[in-house]
Structure 1
């Protein structure tokens, strides 16, 4: 492997000499305008009781360079006498609306006090933007209409933190957790509670919201979700959650988040003491076939004959992106985003208009793929039905501190079959030193910037807390390609297909169609 590789890092939020601290990052990518929205909490000190309001920095994508605007406070994302916490943005591709959900907590009431006493001080609120984050609506408190009487059974609750997702059906999903009151004034204590993750969801583009059932059995706290497509045409909702049990908890839902099956411990994903928030993001897997069996298509973890070289197919549907293309092998300059700082051009995707605000209320009116960064429905005419016997599966990337002893060494892990708790690779450490909360975004890079082949490349952005002595000194932004992830994963890989691909690339053997 040689010397360790770290992606370039840009500090977006930094602790001020006055003690003002920025915590709890959330990251949202809007593909049709190639814009990144980076959110955080502004706190008067590191203490969560000193949280104040939410702040935002907007980033415009110029080739593989992001130009960030100055930080600004989201003054409308507040309730009187409350402090704003846990930013959770989600983008509706049908309407072009960005929703920023958050909790508003009364006064200086810390979460620990609510858990002990069972006196809930949190409200569920949101602001929205129809111009990709330039302006925001006034805050709307939906606690009563969404949670209703159930709030009496919750000692407290919170969102995410970090990004929400939209399913193919149009359903908007927000990750959340609540401390359910098991009993009051029992065993000499004021209250006994257990945390469980769940989702808030909307099937009418944010006009109304409901919440699903919590993950049963194991305690689970801060979480994020991924919609996972599998080769046989099935789909599951995958939840990855913080846990106090020393390992992450994962759970699956077969009905888009309304009900989750029993959670299970993921022993390859360790937690530091008391746990830490982590992020998951899904993306379409690269497709491979073997020369000896050109009609035998499969996802990378399928075993491949040792004499064969996995080939990356050019025959793809609109959702079957190939991040490990000729770009990664034949154009070394495209391997590392951090090594390229291009001169300023028009922002990528700026010529692709987003859905206008006139789409409000037009349920099911989805913008075309061309109008919003290729994120629309697949074009059934792009590839004949006989070309593939399965749908492109979803791979998952996960970011989290890698130590079981403390919040240190931010890493990214890859799973090629996330429903299998043993499918996770060893981590690629992207930052050595104190680090804590993070949020990931998936970015399809335009082919014109990286390859003359017409095949898009794939990248990820990570917004994470870090510092030299404390994890809460800065919130930094890094970008890297899937090629970099695979190239820097330690050699201990359980997936046969992925291991073969790694071995061949490390020996410098080209495994692409020429």
Structure 2
């Protein structure tokens, strides 16, 4: 849908480092005596509970794949996933969600947010939460295969969004988000939100990663121009605009990525290789 004109936030390449930090903790055994004041002690044991939210052996769908999770300002937890009618990235898929109001101890029954009608393939559920207003935005994609495509991947991916103002109990009608990426020079046809969730910056800006590529039919891997360009909102989700793209690289094509804001205010984009590259993981810094 048309969006107000605005100067997009620029994303440019900067030098970055990759490293692994190994951390060891000294533990004082009870049998030791004469330890100096302030000596390290054994860390407290941490435990966690495990809950199965969907199980294809008892639940109706063939599989449950690609998950999105959000924690609301009141600590309500929302988890969404694709309910796949068959094991196929572009096959019939519903979008379903479950809620927990007690930190994950108990969960409400599954709620179907978007139904597959006549084989529609809804995917990539990705939350963005506005901590100021409590508004929740769930972005997702309608995947479409061209008739010549015999693979299980879609050629076209249109972006959609629904929202909730009551903690995920009820949701608005779907809003088409087409046109946000038409101005890019790559002829991108598939726009996949996420995976995971978006973030809110210190400024209040809502920011969501989206990955892109050309159609599969008629394009080799190098010709698909896998890339990342996010969307953002500065008016609490009323309107959304595209950022500039992370520089598109044919030798290292990135698609699915995560965003994090660093302490200096910059945003780190950490992307995975889209086509089996043997290169190191890619990271970019955004202004």
Does residue 286 of structure 2 align to residue 253 of structure 1? yes
Could you tell me how far apart the structure 2 residues matched to 1:79 and 1:171 are?
Answer: 34
How much has 1:46 moved relative to structure 2?
2.0
Does residue 241 of structure 2 align to residue 210 of structure 1? yes
From 131, 136, 144, the counterpart of 1:98: 136
Could you tell me how far apart the structure 2 residues matched to 1:241 and 1:101 are?
Answer: 19
Q: TM-score, normalised by structure 2?
A: 0.72
- Seen in structure 2, the aligned counterparts of structure 1 residues 91 and 5 have a Cα distance that, compared at 3 Å, is closer
Structure with more of its chain in helix, by fraction: 1
Counterpart position of 1:20: 62
Structure with more of its chain in strand, by fraction: 1
Q: CA RMSD in A?
A: 3.4
Counterpart position of 1:137: 172
CA contact (8 A) 1:176 1:199 kept: yes
- Seen in structure 2, the aligned counterparts of structure 1 residues 112 and 200 have a Cα distance that, compared at 3 Å, is farther
Matches within 5 A, 1:276-315: none
Structure 1 unaligned regions, length at least 5:
255-514
Number of aligned pairs? 238
Does residue 70 of structure 2 align to residue 39 of structure 1? no
Could you tell me how far apart the structure 1 residues matched to 2:210 and 2:48 are?
Answer: 30
Structure 2 unaligned regions, length at least 5:
1-26, 28-44
How much has 1:248 moved relative to structure 2?
2.3
CA contact (8 A) 1:201 1:211 kept: yes
Counterpart position of 2:163: 128
Q: TM-score, normalised by structure 1?
A: 0.42
Could you tell me how far apart the structure 1 residues matched to 2:118 and 2:78 are?
Answer: 25
Matches within 5 A, 1:99-498: 99-106=137-144, 120-144=155-179, 146-148=180-182, 150=184, 153-180=187-214, 192-216=223-247, 217=249, 218-229=252-263, 234-243=264-273, 244-246=276-278, 247-254=280-287
- Seen in structure 2, the aligned counterparts of structure 1 residues 199 and 80 have a Cα distance that, compared at 3 Å, is farther
2:90 alignment partner, SS class: helix
Counterpart position of 1:472: none
How much has 1:79 moved relative to structure 2?
8.2
Could you tell me how far apart the structure 2 residues matched to 1:89 and 1:111 are?
Answer: 30
How much has 1:81 moved relative to structure 2?
6.5
- Seen in structure 2, the aligned counterparts of structure 1 residues 223 and 112 have a Cα distance that, compared at 3 Å, is farther
Could you tell me how far apart the structure 1 residues matched to 2:91 and 2:64 are?
Answer: 11
Could you tell me how far apart the structure 1 residues matched to 2:258 and 2:150 are?
Answer: 22
- Seen in structure 2, the aligned counterparts of structure 1 residues 114 and 176 have a Cα distance that, compared at 3 Å, is farther
1:11 alignment partner, SS class: coil
Counterpart position of 1:431: none
CA contact (8 A) 1:197 1:220 kept: yes
How much has 1:204 moved relative to structure 2?
1.7
Counterpart position of 1:277: none
- Seen in structure 2, the aligned counterparts of structure 1 residues 89 and 190 have a Cα distance that, compared at 3 Å, is closer
CA contact (8 A) 2:126 2:194 kept: yes
- Seen in structure 2, the aligned counterparts of structure 1 residues 179 and 110 have a Cα distance that, compared at 3 Å, is farther
Could you tell me how far apart the structure 1 residues matched to 2:57 and 2:147 are?
Answer: 24
1:154 alignment partner, SS class: coil
Could you tell me how far apart the structure 1 residues matched to 2:55 and 2:127 are?
Answer: 21
